[in-house]
Amino acid sequence: MKADTTNAATGRDFPGTGPGDAGAVAAVTRLYQGHAVGLIRLAVVMLGDRPAAEDVVQDAFAGLYRRWAKLADHGKALPYLRSATINGCRNELRRRVRARRQPAETVTDAASAEFAALVGEDHREVLDALRRLPARQREALVLRFYLDLSEREVATAMGVSPGTVKSTTARGLASLGRLLRERA
């Protein structure tokens, strides 16, 4: 099943507007209504933490809003949001790693208890293993096998070449399988 971040309306429906224009607010709001849940789902797969996922998506939309007038092609709003969400998740995970080295900082390090209870033990093992992968492998796997994007679309979202997506996906799957076997 294809996940739901690509089927709703895109920014192409809206006329170009300047920052602060009511049109920009309406356009970004409508995009949010159409895609926010799908992007939060994408982020929660990456992060295992709903509040952090919501923050990342909120920031992605805030970034889009700031740039609305400069986007020559508003039809690319959704790919932009997807890339921004991916980058936001990457930064959030890096922040957690940095925070682990600085224990004084308060961080949300693991999946929330509510999240863990909802997804079940087996799925949580897979998601924990997924989050132990290098960032690019994790992103490639989620975009490819959760969002079911094509290699070229994954490449666009990650800003790499399709060939890189292919090799990264293969390596990621192999690494994930190895991690799961180690835990079994």
Partner 1 sequence: MISTEERLRAAAQAAARTIPDGSAPPLRLPAELPLRPARRPRWLRAGWRRVVAPIAAAVAVVGVAAVSVTVSQLDRGQAGGPASTPASPISRAAALASVPPYYAGLTGYPGQPHLTVVIRALATGRALATVAVPAPFTSFTRISGAADDRTFVLSAVGPRPGGGHEVAFFRLRFDPGGPAPRLTRLPVLAVSGSDKVLGPGLGGLAVSPDGRQLAFVVLRPPPLPPQLRVAGLTTGTERTWVWNGPGWLADNGQTVSPVAWAADSRTLAFQQGHGFTSTSVRLLDTTRAGGDLRAASRLAAAWQFAEDRTGNIALSPDAGTVISPVTVVSGGVSELMISEFSAATGRVREQAAHWRYAGTAGGQDVLWAGPGGRVLIVVGPAASPLSGRLLHDPPWAVGVLTGGTFTPLPHADAHYTDWIAF
Region 93-122 residues binding partner 1, contact defined as CB under 8 A? 95, 114-115, 118-120, 122
Does the protein bind partner 1 through residue 162 (CB under 8 A)? Answer: yes
Residues 22-61 that bind partner 1 (CB under 8 A): 25, 28-29, 32, 36-37, 40-42, 44-45, 48, 50-61
Angstrom distance (rounded) from CA 158 to CA 154: 6
Tokens representing residue 148 in the block: 């079911």
Inter-residue contact 140 to 158 (CB < 8 Å)? yes
Selected from 70, 102, 103, 184, the binder of partner 1 by CB under 8 A is 70
3-state secondary structure 84-142: HHHHHHHHHHHHHHHHHHCCCCCCCCCCCHHHHHHHCHHHHHHHHHHHHCCHHHHHHHH
Q: Which is nearer to partner 1, 97 or 118 (CB)?
A: 118
CB of residue 59 to partner 1, shortest distance in Å: 4
Selected from 9, 135, 164, 171, the binder of partner 1 by CB under 8 A is 164
Selected from 26, 97, 100, 163, the binder of partner 1 by CB under 8 A is 163
Angle between helices 22-47 and 50-67 (to 10 degrees): 150
